[in-house]
Amino acid sequence: MIIVESLEQAREALSSKEKTMICFMARWCPPCRMINLSFEQFEEENPDAKIYKIDVNEYRDLAKELEAVSVPVTLFVNNGHIVSTHKGFLEAAELTKIYNKNIE
């Protein structure tokens, strides 16, 4: 998982031509900590997948712009377009299902 460290990096992830997942999270959020485990498991099974983690407290304007105000929020990006958005916790199997449906 790639931790976003600049607004430029976040914008690059959003416009990526690669299949990408972007998760808006917060350190204080228990479901966000739980979804980290799901992403780790997903990564083990899908090592080529690009996954970015964005802290909503550091990038509030971007989170608001993308309507990621309650966390966690996962965006599925393909060919530079957001093709699906999911709010709330996801198990690894659910991540895989949504990823395959919207990105493959």
For the CA atoms of 53, 78, 10, 57, the dihedral, rounded to the nearest 10 degrees, stands at -50
Q: Per 3-state DSSP, what percentage of the chain is helix, strand, and coil (rounded to 5)? A: 40, 25, 35
What amino acid positions are annotated as catalytic residues? Answer: 29, 32
Q: For residue 56, which phi and psi values (nearest 5 degrees)?
A: -65, -25
d(CA 50, CA 22): 8
